[in-house]
């Protein structure tokens, strides 16, 4: 029915206007590199308008006949909330968490406390997004519903792992990794309970326990477990790799062998802790909750791997500017020296 053609047209029009605006700013000499907050405002408005127009096109396409305005609004929220959750989490972390974290000294206990409790911001958005994705029965197939949640899980994993990788003490990294791992086990194990409670609050009616655990819900739970395992491990390697590559490029006092040794130690400690709690979580879900995580992985590992690669690459490009800004603030050495790499 031409829905894909309309969505592509809306997206291309938005990117065309975005490019023209940036070219005009450079042509007039107003800005040649980093845009200010005021200069970014039209771009942000244009971005959200394109997303809003795309969501409206999908809402009009999937709505049944004789739909009331309330049902249209509910369908619109089902489609937009999982995506808007990524924006809200990213803005909250960049504008509040990172500046507050960087203001603390390296020996401050508050620095560890912020890194410890910051991931709780994304838990609420994950629960709400799961509820809305599970209720899209007539829109997405259960085997592909996890793709709507993949960006949220990937972006939150990368942005919160930055706080852990930025700690100087290996002991602090280990403590934070243990607490994060235990929290992930609790979150995955109580996923059905949390979704059931939020479902009751959303519908404002009581429901018997277990009624929310449908085959669609169980398939999505298995996919989310696989995504969490892949994205958390990938985020550890990617964030640590970025910080150590940054040190190798900009800081002349650090040798390559010393950086490789530090990278291997820090990354290995975090990965071992993450894999231990992943094994515990997997044992609980497969043996006691009877969730077919291993069966889904054996049959759909190619799909999950491709989804993880695509989502990680796009998420890394999206948050790379914020990660570099945080790296600039972490190292006190001035960055007025020439770069050692030919491509930077």
Q: What is the pLDDT of residues 93-123, one digit of tens each?
A: 888 888 888 787 777 778 778 888 888 888 8
Judge whether 20 lies within some domain: yes
Q: Do 84 and 167 fall into the same domain?
A: yes
Residue with tokens 């504008």: 95
Co-location of 131 and 233 in the same domain: yes
**Which structural domain range is residue 17 located in?**
1-32
Do 6 and 128 sit in the same domain of this protein?
Answer: no
pLDDT score of 16: 95
**126 in the same domain as 202:** yes
Question: Is 137 found in the same domain as 22?
Answer: no
Same domain, 163 and 22: no
Q: How confident is the model at residue 212 (pLDDT cuts 50, 70, 90)?
A: low
What would the pLDDT profile of 8-39 be if each residue is shown by its tens digit? 999 999 999 999 998 998 888 887 667 787 88
Residue 121 exposed, middle or buried by CB count within 10 Å (0-12, 13-18, 19+): middle
What are phi and psi for residue 343, nearest 5 degrees?
Answer: -100, 0
* DSSP element (H, E) containing 149: helix 146-165
Question: What was the pLDDT predicted at 161?
Answer: 84
Claim to verify: residue 15 and residue 135 sit in the same structural domain = no
Same structural domain, 168 and 241 = yes
User: Residue 326: what pLDDT?
Assistant: 65
- Is residue 238 a part of any domain in this protein? yes
Into how many domains does the chain fold?
A: 2
CA pair distance 82, 147, nearest whole angstrom: 11
Both tokens assigned to 37: 């907050």
Report the distance separating Cα 279 and Cα 185, nearest Å.
9
Residues 193-209, mean pLDDT to the nearest whole number: 71
- At 256, is the secondary structure helix, strand, or coil? helix
Q: How much is the average pLDDT of 293-307? A: 90
**What is the spatial distance between Cα 159 and Cα 149, in angstroms, rounded to a whole number?**
16
User: Does residue 159 form part of some domain?
Assistant: yes
- 2 and 119 in one domain? no
**Does the residue 339 lie in any domain?**
no
Residue with tokens 């796009």: 314
pLDDT on residue 343: 45
Residue 331, pLDDT > 70, answer no
């Amino acid at each position: 029915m031409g829905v894909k053609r309309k969505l592509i047209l809306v997206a291309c029009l938005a990117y065309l206007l975005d490019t023209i605006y940036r070219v005009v700013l450079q042509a007039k000499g107003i800005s040649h590199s980093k845009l200010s907050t005021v200069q970014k405002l039209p771009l942000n408005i244009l971005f959200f308008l394109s997303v809003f127009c795309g969501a409206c096109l999908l809402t009009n396409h999937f709505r049944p006949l004789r739909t009331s305005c309330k049902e249209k609004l509910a369908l619109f929220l089902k489609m937009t909330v999982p995506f808007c959750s990524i924006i809200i989490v990213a803005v909250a972390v960049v504008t509040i968490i990172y500046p507050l974290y960087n203001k603390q000294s390296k020996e401050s206990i508050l620095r560890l406390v912020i890194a410890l409790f910051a991931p709780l911001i994304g838990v609420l958005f994950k629960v709400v997004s799961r509820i809305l994705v599970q209720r899209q029965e007539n829109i997405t197939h259960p085997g592909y519903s996890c793709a709507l949640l993949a960006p949220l899980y990937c972006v939150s994993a990368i942005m919160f792992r930055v706080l852990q990788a930025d700690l100087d003490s290996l002991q602090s990294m280990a403590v934070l990794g243990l607490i994060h791992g235990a929290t992930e086990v609790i979150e995955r194990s109580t996923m059905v309970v949390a979704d059931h409670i939020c479902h009751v609050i959303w519908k404002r009616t009581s429901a018997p326990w277990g009624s929310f655990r449908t085959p669609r819900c169980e398939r999505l739970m298995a996919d989310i477990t696989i995504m969490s395992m892949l994205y958390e491990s990938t985020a550890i390697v990617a964030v640590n790799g970025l910080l150590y590559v940054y040190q190798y490029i900009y800081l002349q006092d650090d040798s390559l062998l010393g950086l490789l040794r530090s990278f291997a130690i820090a990354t290995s400690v975090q990965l071992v802790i993450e894999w231990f709690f992943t094994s515990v979580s997997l044992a609980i879900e497969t043996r006691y909750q009877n969730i077919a995580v291993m069966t889904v992985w054996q049959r759909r590992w190619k799909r999950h791997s491709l989804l993880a690669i695509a989502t990680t690459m796009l998420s890394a490009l999206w948050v790379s500017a914020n990660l570099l800004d945080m790296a600039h603030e972490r190292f006190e050495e001035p960055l007025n020296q020439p770069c050692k790499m030919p491509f930077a």
